[in-house]
Amino acid sequence: MLVLACAGRAGAEESRYPARLEWMAGPPPLGVQSALVKTKDVAVGLVLAEGVQPGQTVSGTIVALTPQGSDTSAVEGMVLVDPAGVEHPVEPGKLITFAVGAAAAITLRKGGNTIGTHAIPLGPVETLPNGPIIAQSNRTINIPGSFDGDAANTVANLGDTPLKVIAESPDHLVVATPDLGEKTGQMEIEIADGGKQTAVPANAVQLSLQAPTNLKLGQRTRVEVMLTGLQGLRGIKKTELNLYAWLVNETPQNIRLDKQVKTLHLWIDPKKIGKDGVYRLRVPLTAVAPGAFRLTGSVVTNTYRCKITCTGCTDGWTCGDNGNVDCSGGLCTGACGKHAGGAACNHSWTCDCKFRKCSCD
């Protein structure tokens, strides 16, 4: 994630590797699911790959989330019982491996008493054909492939950068990146899964934001958005890229982005990627009140086969005759559906997906 915070002068600050990964702070990203038992003080559970099925061996990461982040003191004495009935002390960040039965659930206990249970969703997840793998600082990467499901024997590296294994199933490996610094461009993710060695192509991508400062009430300007590291992706089919710049306006009381108050999903058109792997675009910005403003930006991918129901297109959209638009960028007015993790999201469009999982994150 990149932050643009402006007051008297413009600036951009890369986020550092936090105590909890950014994807733990809200609904899980695409390719990842969570099963959480919630109390008034803490939510404890597992982060897993999506598409877990009965009969598989899978691995996941124990998490404990509080409003302050990952807090080990809030889970003292708690144990998590995996679907195979094995007890694990609640140690945030610990990987566990278990076999999945016909039904799967986790149970949280303390002092011999059951605090609660949570079912793990089972069944395959429909996805689009595999597109390019995108790596960013402090984010997860969902890698499709063939794995043994036991993360204890799995090691992954992006070039010379170690990656943290978050979850593994026979069909997916989920890893988290640290701060990648200035690394961009085409790289390989080298995976050792037991005795099996695999090299997966990937692009390390960075997003930068620039905007003027000292805006007056009512003044209109533009945010300069630049993505670097897209070498090799120029001109590929748009259905194979599914890449977006996601901008979040953290100060809607002071500025508006492109007629929208809060968020923008900006589809990356592969035809407009430069030969140098750089993609540039401008986003209108209007000052609605004096004061500092803050924008956050990241790159997101949409790997799910879904359509957006469009009831009135804004700039950046092309509506078909039936009013439906493929997930290809821009914003569309209308009600928002559900996030892939089941939580409502605050965006102005709706996804209509056969398997009821929408990529409106």
Average pLDDT over residues 348-356: 34
Q: Is residue 351 within 8 Å of 359, Cβ to Cβ?
A: yes
Residue 27 lies in a domain: no
Hey, which residues does 135 pair with through a beta bridge? Answer: 204
State whether 348 and 210 are in the same domain: yes
Domain boundary among 94, 119, 144: 119
State whether 140 and 241 are in the same domain: no
Q: Is residue 204 within 8 Å of 180, Cβ to Cβ?
A: yes
Give the model confidence (pLDDT) of 256-299 as tens digits: 887 665 777 777 888 899 999 999 999 888 898 887 888 888 88
Q: What value does the CA radius of gyration of the chain take, rounded to a whole number of Å?
A: 21
Of residues 4 and 14, the one with the higher pLDDT is 4
Give the model confidence (pLDDT) of 153-195 as tens digits: 999 999 999 999 999 999 999 999 988 988 999 999 999 999 8
User: Distance (Å, rounded) from C-alpha 59 to C-alpha 35?
Assistant: 13
* pTM score of the predicted model: 0.75
User: Distance (Å, rounded) from C-alpha 162 to C-alpha 157?
Assistant: 4
3-class DSSP state of 90: coil
Instruction: Work out the pLDDT band at 347, boundaries 50, 70, 90.
Output: very low
3-class DSSP state of 143: strand
Torsions phi, psi for 152 (to 5 deg):
-65, -25
User: Distance (Å, rounded) from C-alpha 175 to C-alpha 164?
Assistant: 5
Q: Cα separations (Å) of 216 from 219, 259, 287?
A: 5, 17, 7
Domain boundary among 119, 145, 167: 119
DSSP string, 228-245: E--TT-TT--HHHH-EEE
Q: Is residue 71 within 8 Å of 24, Cβ to Cβ?
A: no
CATH code, domain with 194: 2.60.40.10
Q: Is residue 131 within 8 Å of 268, Cβ to Cβ?
A: no
Of residues 202 and 249, the one with the higher pLDDT is 202
Q: Which structural domain, as residue segments, surrounds residue 83?
A: 32-119
| Residue 206: per-residue pLDDT | 93
CATH code, domain with 40: 2.60.40
Average pLDDT over residues 328-355: 34
Residue 166 lies in a domain: yes
State whether 197 and 210 are in the same domain: no
User: Distance (Å, rounded) from C-alpha 303 to C-alpha 143?
Assistant: 12
| Residue 132: per-residue pLDDT | 81
State whether 225 and 343 are in the same domain: yes
Give the model confidence (pLDDT) of 109-140 as tens digits: 999 999 999 999 888 765 545 568 889 888 88
Average pLDDT value over all residues in the chain: 75
State whether 72 and 156 are in the same domain: no
Alpha helices in the chain (DSSP H): 238-241
State whether 75 and 193 are in the same domain: no
Residue 26 lies in a domain: no
Q: Cβ-count burial of 331 within 10 angstroms (0-12 exposed, 13-18 middle, 19+ buried)?
A: buried
Domains held by the chain: number: 3
State whether 243 and 211 are in the same domain: yes
Domain boundary among 201, 226, 254: 201
Residue 17 lies in a domain: no
For 211, other C-beta atoms within 10 Å of its C-beta total 20
State whether 212 and 256 are in the same domain: yes
Which residue matches tokens 């689009």?
A: 128
* DSSP at 220: E
The percent of residues in the chain predicted with pLDDT above 90, rounded, is 35
Q: Is residue 111 within 8 Å of 148, Cβ to Cβ?
A: no
